[in-house]
A = this chain, B = another copy of it.
Amino acid sequence: MPKKGEVRIKVAYSGICGTDVHIYHGMMDKRVSIPQTIGHEMSGVIDAMGEEVEGFQVGDKVVVRPLDDRLVQPSDKGFNHICEKLKFIGIDSPGSMQQYWNIPAFVLHKLKPETDLKLAALIEPLSVAVHDVRMSGLEAGETAVVLGGGPIGLLVAMVAKEAGAKVIISEVNETRIKMAADFGLQAVNPTKTDLVQYVREETEGRLADVVFEVAGVQPALDVMTEVAGIRGRIVMVAIHGQKKPVDLFKFFWKELKLIGARVYEKEDYEKAITLVTANELPFGKMITDVQPLSKIQEVFESIDKNPEGLKVLMDCQL
């Protein structure tokens, strides 16, 4: 049974994140030891209540914001979501790829009863995108260029478009370019089209007001400072494990801003929940496969062979 302040969740779906694949490949072995149940993109239903949990009841549909900030310090300046001693639930402590999950109630967000639990498993990655767009200060009428058309890039593009921006995705994979078009998004292949020239023409020379670097590769770093217009804001979403060459002169010359953005805050989750509940964006198309949790090993083995797949959900009750 759940402890004081905790609930037990009957996990419905758990999505596989790029980070989970990194863990599977052993790239995070310093942080994650075997055995560890991973998973942090999930939806579920409260199944049992511990003592002293208020505001929730058995049967509530919920998602978890997997940030355990209980070790926050004054030097974190109130930025709990990225506090120095943050524990990420599903990496640093057991995650959602299990049938039943005990979790402290302070990480829960309640969903409306009619919410589709498959789509709800997208709320965590969608919150990343909502956070990225919020951090950029994107305004309606501005032009955003998204470098990289994978799951997070597509979600960022959707959220930016929903905010009233003109959005151009840069993506080298032709299948993903077609997917973006299917999502109603504009995508170009920078190996075939001069991206800077393309954006210049699309914006009457203003270039991008906001650039989202989601690709994590050097050509994206090279183009980000070119495709941004005067006072452009570049949001660093990708994780670059090593120091990389950056054109700092362009930051000076055009007074560009580079904005680091990591995970999400409470308000980003609330916005993502609103978007999923409204279901007016093509979230359903993001889910390219649903597999029973019992097949988790096969799924991880096959995921690298299918770079065109977007989001795979594990059905945690099968």
Q: Which residues of A are at the interface with B, using a C-beta cutoff of 8 A? A: 73-77, 79, 82-84, 135, 203-207, 221, 229-231, 236-262
How many chain copies?
Answer: 2
Indicate if the CB atoms of A240 and B248 lie closer than 8 Å. Answer: yes
Known contacts A77-B231, A79-B255, A255-B260, A246 near B249 by CB under 8 Å? no
**Least Cβ distance of A144 to chain B in Å?**
15
Residues of B within 8 A of A246 (CB): 243-246, 248
Indicate if the CB atoms of A251 and B229 lie closer than 8 Å. Answer: no
**Please, which residue of chain B has its CB at the minimum distance from the CB of A204?**
B75
Residues of B within 8 A of A243 (CB): 245-248
**Please, which residue of chain B has its CB at the minimum distance from the CB of A221?**
B248
**Least Cβ distance of A121 to chain B in Å?**
24
Residues of B within 8 A of A259 (CB): 251, 255, 257
**Least Cβ distance of A90 to chain B in Å?**
18
Indicate if the CB atoms of A205 and B73 lie closer than 8 Å. Answer: yes
Would you mind naming 9 contact pairs between A and B with Cβ atoms under 8 Å apart? Answer: A75-B207, A84-B230, A240-B248, A240-B252, A242-B249, A244-B245, A251-B260, A257-B258, A257-B259
**Least Cβ distance of A143 to chain B in Å?**
11
Contact of A256 among B231, B244, B260 (CB under 8 A): B260
**Please, which residue of chain B has its CB at the minimum distance from the CB of A230?**
B79
**Please, which residue of chain B has its CB at the minimum distance from the CB of A244?**
B248
